[in-house]
Structure 1
Amino acid sequence: MLVGVSAVAAVSLGIGVAAGSRITSPEDAAAKTAAPSASQITVPVEKKALSSKVVGRGDASFDGAVNIRVETSGMTTPAIVTGKVPAVGSTITEGKALLEITGRPVIGLAGVLPMYRTLSPGSKGPDVLQLEQTLGRLGLNPGTVDDEYTLSTSAAVERLYEDAGYDPPEPDKGLTQALDGAKKQVDAAKKQLRTAQAQLKAAKDAKAKDTSVQQGAVDDAKANLADAQEARSEAEVKAGTPLPVSEVVYVKTLPRRVDDVKVERGGTVNGVVMSASGASLVVVMKVDAETAQRLKAGMPAALELDGTPIPAKVRRVSKNGNQYDVVVAPNKLTASQLALLRDANVRVTVPLKSTSGKVLAVPVAALSSGSDGGSRVEVLRNGKVELVPVTVGLSADGFAQVTPTGDASLAEGDQVVVGK
């Protein structure tokens, strides 16, 4: 019995010890499951080129669609389309006919003022100035560029029509008849002067004592000739080549691409004849006001087409409601690129600033401010953290250019603390 009791006691003791070894206090359990002490998270200092840029997407289209209207109110016959009807996709070129009405051309010119009246010698105004500026730009020599339509302007208009392949407009018949009459008056005055001069010479040859009558006749003939020549000059001016209101249309910029044609051969013109957009394809990217302030016309850009960058430039930045439109135009396109870009949505990149080659760079998260307001980074060296003052340069893509200041040192590969 004693042996049995001893054996039971020994077994119970073993069980108690085993169970006791498996029981822990709450404090011991918390100590065993607590997170380890925080340590620094570091990344190496890199040497890389930095470039800040605006990246977005935009829709490709042809720039600036406008409606083209021909003013036919001054025509004496119905405005029937007789030819030169353009095809959609064709290009309107400055100085060339974009349509024919009653056998006469409608010539496209670049300008902001519409053609609202027929211009002829003696006309004055801002529309005359615009015309002469345009003729001068086309190399047609309108003489002095001002707001007065002169014979030099008429001559330049004649050259404009000749270059377009048409006869210049004819002046009113009454004006040409007046010019013919003025020319005949000059011829008659010249004949009168010759007769008077011959009579004066004959009197002098006969040694007449008094030739005052003959001399008076010569003086009168000269005055008559001067008056006749002045009248002829005025008639020539009035009978100069006019520019009919129905034969020119001004479009803000040219060349342009024809998007839609509203008339057909044999039809009557009544208002808009076609719509046209800029001949060059552009991509419009929408940005907010803050981004728009960083962009300006002339900045280089790139369009990404099937992974291939196409060099481009920012053409303009304009407000459109609560956003801004950034219009980007490719520098040059092949026919295949033009076909792929038309109506496509493409990636647009506009570089803003870049470093000259590779520079020391750290993540922006590694930067902190000291008590003096200067920037610094924490560098882990030999298990210890050192504060290294730095000057911060360009920031881009989450990195910042840094340069150690004073005697501090910082090199590629150094571990900077970005968190714990």
Structure 2
Amino acid sequence: MTASPKSRRRVLVGVSTVAALSLGVGVAAGSRITSPEDAAAKTAPPKASQITVPVEKKALASKVVARGDTSFDGAVNIRVETSGLTTPAVVTGKVPTVGSTLKEGKALLEIAGRPVIGLAGVLPMYRSLAPGSKGPDVLQLEQTLDRLGFDPGTVDSKYDSNTAHAVEELYQAAGYDAPEPGEQLTEAVDRAKKNVDQLKNALRQAERALKQAKAAPGPGKKDLSVEQGAVNDAKTALDDAEDALADARAKAGTPLPVSEVVFVKTLPRRVDDVKVERGGTVNGVVMSASGASLVVTIKVDAQTKELLKAGMTASLDLGDGTIVPATIRRISKNADQYDVVVAPKSLTPHALELLRDANVRVTIPVKSTNGKVLAVPVAALSAGPDGGSRVEVQRDGKTDLVPVKVGLSADGYAEVSPIGDTKLSEGDQVVVGK
């Protein structure tokens, strides 16, 4: 059977369609086939580009930054020596409150109706002092009196009438009557005064007898040796009696009872704790006191400690934007670390309130450049073949290696200056990474 022309046309169209589809599939499949070289090229990472930053001109300052706790400086226990009292050591007044300030030359406490005056000194009061006393405790007392403006005469180790007068002025300034000398000493003064009075009368009688002998009528030159001898003897006796009176008065000068003075290393101080109350009896420590000034203590390692020394300036950040100037007061070893005690130069009432029992940020400048210098990030520095430092500088699409001398480093930047004939300027682009 022979196909009709119409049937043949349908077969040809079908074959053509299949051929076209096969060609499309082949082209599509061919477009997905790549060589190993092309595949590697397409999956390789892009070529690294260099990261650069400009050279800056800026002032650099290295510093130590740490946090520290505040405290009142130098706590001490205060004891009163009451062994010299003839009455019970009962607290009768002037009991301080916690937080109050102990001032030099003022009464810290009253015991048995008498003051306990605070003075600054390292040697404790261990005995009563009086005219005739000698020793290092007398020297310390006179040095203290002289410093406070009470003239003790020659500052030495001898308690004399000048010292006694200065002690009397100390009590007057504190608002108290000066201590009285012992009864025996006052009785000795009274006896010496009576003796002087008697000898003055004896001298007057001898002088009167001499005068009468001279005026008596009689022939020739009169022998007045007896009367004159009596006058001379009376004068000598009176001189000796007046010397004895001066000595008795000197010995009866104002004393300093051991129970009425306490020497503390430094004053003023803040009262931290009170161990006694009015009406109670003193037995041992009467109070503990720290320094009147607040300080901040930070801890540093041995390496950092080598950068610091007493007297260096610092600053305290109180957290509310207030910055308080300060100085390093002292540095002391504490186990494997070091305590750096920083004291504010002055405090307003607001700053004092913020500092109490606070933990604050302390900044201590260690070193700084003299004005603005060329500076690059520390990451821009690399070591050259000779061990020196260098930076990579990009100029006009090229990279130059510029040897530099490195100065102060701070806050991630380093001071640099080009070596030799090389050039490095503000704004030059230096490579810090790729």
TM-score by length of 1: 0.92
Deviates more, 1:249-258 or 1:200-209: 200-209
Deviates more, 1:318-327 or 1:27-36: 27-36
Q: Match of 2:8?
A: none
Residue 271 in 1 paired to residue 284 in 2? yes
- 2 CA distance for matches of 1:160 and 1:181? 29
- CA distance 1:153–1:6, shift in 2 (3 Å): same
Q: Match of 1:66?
A: 76
- 2 CA distance for matches of 1:181 and 1:388? 100
- 2 CA distance for matches of 1:33 and 1:208? 152
Number of residues of Structure 1 aligned to a counterpart in Structure 2: 420
SS at match of 2:277: coil
- 2 CA distance for matches of 1:383 and 1:396? 30
Deviates more, 1:294-303 or 1:341-350: 294-303
- 2 CA distance for matches of 1:291 and 1:127? 42
1:284-313 deviations in Å (ceiling 9; x for gaps): 111112212212222221111212212222
Q: Match of 2:153?
A: 143
Report matched runs for 1:136-175 at 5 Å.
Answer: 136-175=146-185
Q: Match of 1:45?
A: 55
- 2 CA distance for matches of 1:370 and 1:337? 52
Deviates more, 1:264-273 or 1:202-211: 202-211
Amino acid of the residue matched to residue 54 of structure 2?
P
Residue 411 of structure 1, aligned match among 422, 425, 431: 425
SS at match of 1:139: coil
Q: Match of 2:3?
A: none
Q: Match of 1:333?
A: 347
- 2 CA distance for matches of 1:27 and 1:120? 110
Q: Match of 2:372?
A: 358
- Note the C-alpha offset of 1:18: 5.0
- 1 CA distance for matches of 2:209 and 2:32? 155
- Note the C-alpha offset of 1:47: 1.6
1:162-197 deviations in Å (ceiling 9; x for gaps): 000000001100011111112222233333333334
Residue 77 of structure 1, aligned match among 76, 81, 87: 87
Deviates more, 1:155-164 or 1:14-23: 14-23
Residue 127 in 1 paired to residue 137 in 2? yes
Q: Match of 1:192?
A: 202
- Note the C-alpha offset of 1:372: 4.8
- 1 CA distance for matches of 2:211 and 2:402? 113
- 1 CA distance for matches of 2:248 and 2:291? 43
SS at match of 1:184: helix
- 1 CA distance for matches of 2:301 and 2:202? 82
Q: Match of 1:302?
A: 315
- CA distance 1:292–1:205, shift in 2 (3 Å): farther
1:26-57 deviations in Å (ceiling 9; x for gaps): 55544432333444322111122211111110
Q: Match of 1:226?
A: 239
Deviates more, 1:330-339 or 1:85-94: 330-339
- 2 CA distance for matches of 1:358 and 1:257? 45
- Note the C-alpha offset of 1:379: 1.1
The answer for unaligned runs of 5 or more in structure 2 is 1-10
1:377-411 deviations in Å (ceiling 9; x for gaps): 22111122222233332221111122234333222
Residue 236 in 1 paired to residue 246 in 2? no
1:192-236 deviations in Å (ceiling 9; x for gaps): 333334434444455644333333333322332232222222212
- 1 CA distance for matches of 2:288 and 2:364? 31
Residue 260 in 1 paired to residue 273 in 2? yes
Q: Match of 1:100?
A: 110
- 1 CA distance for matches of 2:196 and 2:403? 96
Query: Percent identity between the aligned chains?
Result: 75
Amino acid of the residue matched to residue 391 of structure 1?
K
TM-score by length of 2: 0.89
SS at match of 1:391: strand
The answer for unaligned runs of 5 or more in structure 1 is none
SS at match of 2:117: strand
Deviates more, 1:73-82 or 1:225-234: 225-234
